[in-house]
Amino acid sequence: MISDINKQVEELEKEIYNLENILKIKDKKETIQVLQLKMSEKGFWNNSKTASEVVNELKDSKGDVDDWDSLNNALKDLKDLFSICDESMISDIVKEINKLRMDSEALKLRILFPGKFDKANAIVEINSGAGGTEACDWVSMLFRMYFKWSENKGFKFKILSEVRGEDAGIKNIAFFVEGRRAFGLLKTEIGVHRLVRISPFDSNKRRHTSFASVDVIPEVKGDIEIEIKPDDVRIDTYRSSGAGGQHVNVTDSAVRITHLSTGIVVCCQNERSQHQNKLTAFNILKAKLYKLKEEEERKELGDISGQKQRVEWGSQIRSYILHPYLLVKDHRTNMENHNAWSVLDGKIDDFIYAYLKQIVSV
């Protein structure tokens, strides 16, 4: 038994030190020193944009280093404990080994975010597809799922625009998710989501299938250069129909920007003023144009976008079945969860990481 535990400790030690190389911990420790010196320079905070970029880079590097150091220190404690162990301590050591193994696996997931914008905040759009009122209600269910997921992670969440369905639900909605690696996580949700259930809108209680598409783009800030000429866009203002405070509801503060040459339309209605709505809409348009540019250059969909598919039967990435049984299945990874209501309550991390591991080949 002791020899078996010794082998497990050696394997765990090898895995943790391997993580040090994978996550480039030594390089990040040097980066932290350089950034901290930069922050102490006179006039550093005068340029808020540059300061913000440095602070965010420091935060990311420090997060990885602190987590690895914590894991490595726990490993040292485990080895010290094992060096004096007897039969009465075996169960405690096994528990600690299992905990460290789980922590190591969680840290390993950091390598799943190699993309240029994976650390960025995310802008998510959900649009109803085939299914009419059913599809609009399905959009509202998906919106709630992502809201609960964001809430559980402590991410900030803000609705940008919303169009309600004629009878119920939401026809389309756009919202902003702010948090560490929000885009890197949510890019896995791009595609068509299918719902099968007994319709609450059908008096005959028949089973219905509904579809909704999810698209996710990164908040690009100053990371890219996209020129938008005044003649390339048409800007319309209108009265907001959604939540957003008294000022929004009584003035024509909502903004719709149409990019004439591409036909891309961006709306924003829930900021405090028309000016803020306009700035947000332009930032979203900028991200969409960059995405389009990437697609055109590669002649196929690139790293920051999912495949554009028709919002109907046969093109779904994930199915949510609520009748005649409970099941959520991701058709890309074949991962299944029979606790469908838990998934719809925001527990989607298993699906997210399974797909990330697949595309990064971990």
- Indicate whether 86 pLDDT > 80: no
Q: What is the mean pLDDT of residues 283-307?
A: 69
Contacts of 143 (CB under 8 A, 6+ apart): 126, 170, 173, 175
CATH 3.30.70.1660 segments of the chain: 122-215+309-360
What does the pLDDT read at residue 311? Answer: 54
Beta strands in 165-296 (DSSP E): 170-178, 191-198, 207-218, 233-238, 254-259, 264-268
Each residue of 91-106: pLDDT tens digit?
Answer: 888 899 999 998 888 8
| CATH 3.30.160.20 domain extents, the chain | 230-298
CA atoms within 13 A on the CB side of 15: 18
Give the pLDDT score at 312. 47
Domain 2-112: CATH architecture, name and number where available: Up-down Bundle (1.20)
Average pLDDT over residues 35-57: 90
**Least-confidence region, from 25-29, 199-203, 301-305:** 301-305
Q: Domain 230-298, CATH 3.30.160.20 — does that match? A: yes
pLDDT of residue 297: 63
Fold of 122-215+309-360: Alpha-Beta Plaits (3.30.70)
**What is the pTM assigned to this prediction?**
0.73
pLDDT band at 313 (very low <50, low <70, confident <90, very high): very low
User: Where in the chain does DSSP place strands (E)?
Assistant: 122-128, 156-164, 170-178, 191-198, 207-218, 233-238, 254-259, 264-268, 316-321, 327-330, 336-337
In the chain, ranges of CATH 1.20.58.410 domains? 2-112
What average pLDDT does the structure give for the chain?
87
